[in-house]
A and B are shown apart, each in its own frame.
Chain A
Amino acid sequence: MNASQGPAVDRSALRPPQPAPDVDTAPFWEATASGHLSICRCQQCGLWLQPPLERCRRCAASTAFEPVSGDGTVSTFIIQRQPAVVGFFDKVPYAVALVDLAEQPGLRLPGRIVDIDPDDVAIGMRARARIDALAGGDFHLPVFVPVD
């Protein structure tokens, strides 16, 4: 018996990672809080920018957040089988994908693929963003639901 050991921590009660927005990313989280997916976009050349930037990386013009369709394609994905990230220890297995959004080649978000058996996820699968509440705080985030 190890006398120095404290009471067992219920790891399943721990919060999942919470976003720490900065001034460039805050509008993304403000949009999800109101149920929408919005992405940073150059107001001059139209380039979508994810992660967001204050100014366009191509033409240095100012940017603003605009709503997107939420439609995308699974570029690749993983199935998490062993606990690795706080807040998800009791959630395995779960699938996370890199989803290429329809608005622009290479415009990509990571996101959990939900409402499907992880074993049925496939590269090339079409999916659509749905805004869900994030446990442990006030944030909302886009998860992806397969569409036929």
Chain B
Amino acid sequence: MDLSGCAVVGIGRTAYTRRSGRTGLALAAEAVRAALDDCGLTAADVDGITCFSTGDSASPLRVAHAIGIDDIGWAVGIHAGGNAVATVIANAAAAVITGQAETVVVYRVLDASVRYGKVTAEVSVGGVEQFAGPHGYLVPPQWFAMWARRHQHVYGSTCEDLGAIAINGRNHAANNPHAIARDPISLDDYLAGRMVVEPFRVFDCAYEVDGAVALVLTTAERAADLRHPAVHPIGAADSTGAGGMPDLWDDQTAMYSRDAAPRLWARTGLSPADIDVACMYDCFTYTIMATFEDYGFCGKGEVGDYFREGRATYGGDVVVNPHGGLLSEGYLHGLNHHYEAVLQLRGQAGARQVPDAELALVTAGAGPYGGAIVYSSRRP
């Protein structure tokens, strides 16, 4: 795999708010325009557009139209959640490298009509969820609380370990003016947090917001003439198991990354020790715990100590979620992690800049499915 003929050249986003009072289409158009402005391109330069969604989003066709494009050569919507972020970007890179499009926009938007943590209206549920919903078991915090409990049972991990992950991200978010939650928390604060679905407290769960984020990808050649240093995707890997059904996964102490990580490191020739910044998908604190182990940053059951000892922050081994992640910056379904990685590798992250950041791991997804991309500040 070689994605290095492609580069991320532009990044854009809206404010992240609890309630914007705006449509998804309006938010997406703003983020895409911001990403184009960032690199000095215009809508006339865009010949590809893609997003992932669970049927909730302004479609690529409508967003292209909304920013004034009348002829879009490559428009691809993927029905998926955060598991597909790496896939979508790798597909966009492949489209650029193979000449299906020269300049591709990737975006994700969430508006107030989408909140995954609760189901408040009467529903009939089909598919595998018909066996779960009637038990009052239907939303992602419940699925992953099951996983976290299993890890606690098998490896002796604790709520304090999950708290160490939440605290690390919140401390980072204090340096991020764009984050929705910026007040640092102590372990006491964490433990005093409302228990939502045991073993998850409120601080274990992503902070759902309204907002949109967009990236612009183009050829490495064209990138050289644009405004900012190019950031190159240098490898990607995915895995889906158990048909994407969280309850059916054979070992809930590990995630998709158990299978995707060896693939990623083999394709890139890298190892965890090479990574400067790790934007870890964190729909829940436990997602970081399980995937951090799977990607090989530490052994099973060691994540709590790793974070408590300062190894996941500035001056440590790798800075995990300098922006605060989905837990504290806001739940943009993981595309905001890519925005942060690009900012860090450009050296433009301001007060939260990771010194000399050259390689960033960005993970996507949780449970039985997901993937990752490694970005480099240099074309290999």
Do A110 and B132 touch (CB < 8 A)?
yes
Interface residues of A in 13-28 (CB under 8 A from B): 14-22, 25, 28
**B21 at interface (Cβ–Cβ under 8 A)?**
no
Query: Bound complex: CA of A79 vs CA of B123, how far in Å?
Result: 22
**B112 at interface (Cβ–Cβ under 8 A)?**
no
With A76-B150, A77-B149, A96-B137 known as contacts, the answer to whether A110 contacts B122 (CB < 8 A) is no
Do A108 and B247 touch (CB < 8 A)?
yes
With A76-B252, A81-B198, A86-B122 known as contacts, the answer to whether A112 contacts B150 (CB < 8 A) is no
- Tell me which of B121, B131, B197, B248 has the highest count of chain A C-beta atoms within 10 A of its own C-beta: B131
Do A17 and B126 touch (CB < 8 A)?
no
Taking CB as reference atom, which chain B residue is nearest A112?
B135
**A84 at interface (Cβ–Cβ under 8 A)?**
yes
Interface residues of B in 111-157 (CB under 8 A from A): 117-128, 130-139, 141-142, 145-147, 149-150, 153
Query: Bound complex: CA of A109 vs CA of B137, how far in Å?
Result: 12
With A78-B197, A85-B118 known as contacts, the answer to whether A123 contacts B138 (CB < 8 A) is no
Query: Smallest CB–CB gap between A14 and chain B, Å?
Result: 5
Taking CB as reference atom, which chain B residue is nearest A107?
B248
Query: Bound complex: CA of A81 vs CA of B196, how far in Å?
Result: 5
Contact of B131 among A15, A51, A91, A93 (CB under 8 A): A51
Taking CB as reference atom, which chain B residue is nearest A95?
B198
Query: Bound complex: CA of A108 vs CA of B143, how far in Å?
Result: 14
Do A141 and B134 touch (CB < 8 A)?
yes
Query: Smallest CB–CB gap between B285 and chain A, Å?
Result: 15
Query: Bound complex: CA of A67 vs CA of B147, how far in Å?
Result: 29
Do A85 and B196 touch (CB < 8 A)?
no
Do B139 and A85 touch (CB < 8 A)?
yes
Do B122 and A15 touch (CB < 8 A)?
yes
Do A139 and B134 touch (CB < 8 A)?
yes
Do A78 and B198 touch (CB < 8 A)?
yes
**A65 at interface (Cβ–Cβ under 8 A)?**
no
**A38 at interface (Cβ–Cβ under 8 A)?**
no
Chain B positions within 8 Å of A82 at CB level = 194-197
Do A19 and B128 touch (CB < 8 A)?
no
List 25 A-B pairs, Cβ < 8 Å.
A11-B120, A16-B133, A17-B119, A17-B124, A17-B134, A22-B126, A28-B131, A78-B145, A78-B197, A78-B198, A80-B142, A81-B195, A81-B197, A81-B198, A82-B195, A82-B196, A82-B197, A83-B118, A84-B141, A84-B196, A85-B139, A93-B198, A94-B136, A110-B131, A123-B149
